[in-house]
Amino acid sequence: MIIFFLWPPDAATPASPRLRPSPRRPLIVALQLAGEGKAEQRRRQEDRSKAVDMATAGASSFEDEIMESDIELEGEAVEPDNDPPQKMGDPSVEVSNEKRDQAQLCKNKGVDAFSEGKVYLPVLIEISHYNKMNCKLDEAIEHLTEAIVLNPTSAIAYATRAVIFVKSKKPNAAIRDADAALKINPDSAKGYKSRGMAKAMLGKWEEAAQDLRMAAKLDYDEEIGAELKKVEPNVLKIEEHRKKYERLRKERDIKKAEMEKQRKHAEEVSAASAALKDGDVIAIHSSSELDTKLKAASSLSRLVVLYFTAAWCGPCRFIGPVCKSLAEKHRNVVFLKVDIDELNSVAYRWNVSSVPSFFFVRNGKEIDKVVGADKNGLERKVAQHGSS
C-alpha cells in the first residue's frame, strides 16, 4: 500500500511546485510499513493453510475402499440344498461283526442302485428317464443310510453316499458326508473327491481345487482329472484377481502413508512458521523456548543467528540496532536473543566467553560465529550463510 500526499506550493515561490516537509510524514511511513507487515503475515498464513489443505485433501482421496470388479468364471453354481441334515450314524455305538456284515450288504445294494441310476444320466431326454434316475438315486441313498446306521465307522459308506448326493445336486449333504468320511479316514480319496465336486457345485473353486488335487494325489481317476480341468482355470482367474487387488491396495496404502507424511510435514511447517516471527529479533526467556525455536527453524531449513547479550554491555547496545536491521532485511533468517544473566545455563551450554557473541546455527548445529560488536563481520556472515 502506497500513500501519496500533495501539499500546496510554497507561498514565497508560487511558481515552484516543490513539496513542503510535513511533520505527519513519519506517521504515514509507519502506517505504510504496518500495512505491509500485515499483508506479509496474511500471505504466510495463507501459504500454511494451503499446504495443510493440499496434504489433507490428498490423504482423503485414498481413504475410500477399492471396489473390486467381477470375475468372469466358467461354469454355474447350483442352488444350495437347504434340506434338513441327512441321518448320520452314532459313532459311540459298538459295531458287532453281524452288523458289519449287514452294513456291507446294504452298501452293496446302494452301489447297485446307484449304478442303475447312472444308466439314465446320458439319456435324460424324457421326463420318465429323469424320474427313474431320481428313484434309483433315492433308493441308493436309503440303502447307504441303513449301512451307515449299522456301521457308523465305515468311511467308504459315507464317501459313497456323498458321491450320490453330488449326482443328486445336493452339495451341502455331500459335504457333510465327505467330512464324516475324512474324519474316520483322512486318506479317503473318495471323500476328497466328493467334497471337491460338491464345493465346485457351490462355486467354492479354490476349496474344490484343493480337495480334488488331494484326491488325485491319493487315487487319480479320469473323473477327478475332468473336474480339475473345469475348476483350475477359475482358480487361476481368482488368484490373478486377488493378486491384482492386493497390489492395488498395497499401492494405495503406500500413497496414503506418503500423503499422511506430507500432511504431518505441512502441519509441522505451519506450526514452525507460527512459532517464528519473520523480520524480528526474538527474545528467549527459557531453555525450553530456545529448543522449540531451534527445532522450528530446523524443520523449515532456516539459518538461526543466536545472539548472546547483557543489559550492562555497552557493545551490545551498539550492535542491537544492527541485529534488528539485519532481521528486517533477511526475513528468512531467524534471530534469537539470549540475555546471559537471565539464562546463564544456556550461555554455559553454548560456551559463551564474552558478549556480544553470535552463533550461526543450521539444523541444530553451529556452523560459524562472530564474537564482539563486529558490524561488518556480522553483516557479511549473515549474507553468506543466509543465502546458502
The three grid cell numbers given for residue 348, joined into one nine-digit string = 554455559
CA angle 247, 251, 252 (to 5 degrees): 115
Instruction: Spell out the residues 6+ positions from residue 176 whose beta carbon is closer than 8 angstroms to its own.
Output: 85, 86, 88
CB 202 within 8 A of CB 78: yes
Specify which of 62-76, 141-155, 273-287 reaches the highest per-range mean pLDDT.
141-155
pLDDT at 38: 54
Grid-cell match 452339495, residue found: 171
Contacts of 125 (CB under 8 A, 6+ apart): none
8 A C-beta contact, residue 177 and residue 197? no
3-state secondary structure of 159: helix
In the prediction, which pLDDT does 79 show?
87
Please determine, for residue 31, whether its predicted confidence score (pLDDT) is greater than 50.
Answer: no
Domain ranges of the chain: 97-238, 277-386
Catalytic-role residue among 106, 135, 313, 323: 313
- Cell numbers 551498539 correspond to what residue? 318
Decide if pLDDT at 33 tops 90: no
Task: Render 230-258 in DSSP notation, one character per residue.
Answer: HHHHHHHHHHHHHHHHHHHHHHHHHHHHH
What pLDDT does residue 101 have?
93
Q: How many CB atoms lie within 10 A of CB 4?
A: 5
Rounded to 5°, angle at Cα 196 from 75 and 238: 50
pLDDT digits (tens, 9 = 90+) for 93-139: 888 999 999 999 999 998 888 887 654 455 444 545 556 667 888 99
Mean pLDDT computed over 364-375: 95
Whether residue 61 is predicted with pLDDT greater than 60 in this model: the reply is no
Pairing label, strands 304-309, 334-339: parallel
Q: Picking from 58-67, 101-110, 343-352, which range would have the lowest pLDDT averaged per residue?
A: 58-67
Distance CA 114, CA 119 (A): 9
- Spatial neighbors of 47 by CB under 8 A, at least 6 apart, are none
Asked if CATH classification 3.90.1330.10 holds for the domain at 277-386, the reply, yes or no, is no
For cell 447350483, the residue is 78
How does residue 250 score in pLDDT terms, banded at 50, 70 and 90? very high
* Interatomic CA distance for residues 234 and 207, integer angstroms: 12
What's the chain's Rg over C-alpha atoms? Answer: 45
18 pLDDT higher than 60: no
- Which of 106, 135, 316, 323 does the annotation list as catalytic? 316
Angle at 372 between CA 368 and CA 377, to 5 degrees: 55
Nearest residue to 307 (alpha-carbon basis) of 344, 355, 349: 355
316 is catalytic: yes
pLDDT digits (tens, 9 = 90+) for 192-217: 999 999 999 999 999 999 999 999 99
Contact 361, 294 (CB under 8 A): yes
The yes-or-no verdict on residue 278 having pLDDT over 70 is yes
Q: How far is CA 213 from the centre of its chain?
A: 36
Does the pLDDT at position 7 exceed 80?
A: no
CB 5 within 8 A of CB 28: yes
Structural contact between residues 72 and 237, judged by C-beta atoms closer than 8 angstroms = yes
Q: What is the distance in angstroms between the CA of the first residue and the CA of the last residue of the chain?
A: 31
DSSP tag of 91: T
> Shortest CA distance to 255 belongs to which of 63, 7, 122?
63
**Residue 3 confidence (pLDDT) above 90:** no
Report the CATH number of the 97-238 domain.
1.25.40.10
What's the mean pLDDT in 156-178? Answer: 95
Q: What is the pLDDT of residue 17?
A: 36
Distance CA 270, CA 275 (A): 9
Contact 52, 263 (CB under 8 A): yes
Q: Residue 236: pLDDT above 50? A: yes
